[in-house]
Structure formats: structure tokens, C-alpha cells
Amino acid sequence: MVANVERASLRRDIDGLVELETLSFQRPWSRQMLIDELSKVSVSEAFVVRINQDSLVGYCSWRLIEGELYLNNLAIHPEHRRQGLARLLLMHLTQDATSRGVRSIMLEVRSSNAAALKLYWRMGFKRVGMRPDYYTNPVEDAVLLSKSLAQNC
Ligand SMILES: CC(C)(COP(=O)(O)OP(=O)(O)OC[C@H]1O[C@@H](n2cnc3c(N)ncnc32)[C@H](O)[C@@H]1OP(=O)(O)O)[C@@H](O)C(=O)NCCC(=O)NCCS
């Protein structure tokens, strides 16, 4: 398997992004939410991961605000998990952000999401807070995580 990461193209990738959201989240972003978010080209960005130059099997999207990157979503297709693809996406994102002078990456994750918490911990993120009852359906706390990039600049 050859995997590569590249910037998302809304036109090419929208169907794959909708599928990934639906397969990956209890409250997935709808097609319209994805279009609205990723059309804000100066605010919102996304990377996709493809295998064998074709199939879209993962993505992450973020906003860059005053030197801080806020990760909105990260998902890998269920049939392609535990193959290092989320790690690959996060490494690519970290390198890209560092080269642009980003100071830190922030994100929230459901407190029960053990897979994501382990992934982020392995990638050097630190827990910096909690947001009680942040999520709905089901109601759940968010764990706030941060990774400082300052030492890499
Ligand atoms: C969380 C998610 C993105 C991980 O994607 P992935 O491609 O399977 O992750 P990777 O293969 O890159 O795993 C890297 C490391 O993360 C940890 N990890 C990933 N999935 C795990 C799981 N199910 N259980 C325990 N640890 C896990 C492991 O430490 C793993 O390293 P290892 O395989 O050498 O043990 C994927 O499970 C997913 O899309 N989940 C649904 C959406 C989601 O929860 N997104 C995060 C919201 S913030």
C-alpha cells in the first residue's frame, strides 16, 4: 500500500468526505456543513490521505487563527484503521504547520474516545483542560489537548 497526503479538493473529494464523516462520527458533518466549512478558503483547510494514488481513506480539517491551529475533524475509513494513516496525517499536518510558523495545535475529543486519546498522546499532545458536557447525543465531556510546535521552529 502506498499512502500519500495532499490538500483536499472540495470538488473531487466531497463524496468521500461525506462517507468518512458518516462512518466515523456519532454526529457527522453533513454535506452542506462540509461545503460551507471548506469553501472558506482563507480560514479553513483540509488534508486527505489517499492510497494507491486514488482512494480517499482519511482526512483532517482545521482552522488557523492567529498562529494557532484548531483541528476540527480527523477520520480514517474503518477498513483502513490501525495502519498508521492517522499518524501519517498528523505528521504531515505538524510539518506543514511548523513550516508556516504555527505555535500550537489545539483540539477537543470526547472523553470516551480511547483510540483518539491514545493516538494524540502518542503524537505528543498534552491534556490542557476539560469542557464539561461539551458534546451532545450523547452528552459527554470534551478533553482539550494541545501540542506546542514552538521548539520545532
Ligand atoms: C482515531 C482514528 C483517527 C485513528 O486512526 P488510525 O489510522 O487507525 O490510527 P493509526 O493507525 O495512525 O494509529 C496510531 C496510534 O494511535 C493509537 N490507536 C489508534 N487507534 C487505536 C485503537 N483503536 N485503540 C488503541 N489505540 C489506538 C495507537 O497507539 C496507534 O499506534 P499502534 O497501532 O502502533 O499501536 C480512527 O480510529 C478514527 O477515524 N476514529 C473515528 C473518528 C475519530 O474518533 N476521530 C478523532 C476525533 S478527534
**What pLDDT score does 5 carry?**
97
Mean pLDDT of 57-64: 97
pLDDT digits (tens, 9 = 90+) for 37-57: 999 988 899 999 999 878 999
Confidence (pTM): 0.96
Task: Among 76, 120, 141, 144, say which to mutate for ligand 1: greatest number of ligand atoms within 8 Å of CB.
Answer: 76
Which domains can be identified in the chain, with CATH numbers? 3-152 (3.40.630.30)
Who contacts 23 (Cβ-Cβ below 8 Å, separation ≥6)? 75, 77, 78
Q: Ligand 1 atom closest to Cα of 119?
A: 16
pLDDT digits (tens, 9 = 90+) for 101-153: 999 999 999 999 999 999 999 999 999 999 999 999 899 999 999 999 975 44
pLDDT digits (tens, 9 = 90+) for 90-110: 999 999 999 999 999 999 999
Residue nearest to atom 3 of ligand 1 (CA): 75
CB under 6 Å to ligand 1: residues?
24-25, 74-76, 81-87, 107, 109, 113, 115-116, 118-119, 122
Mean pLDDT of 24-40: 95
Residue nearest to atom 27 of ligand 1 (CA): 115
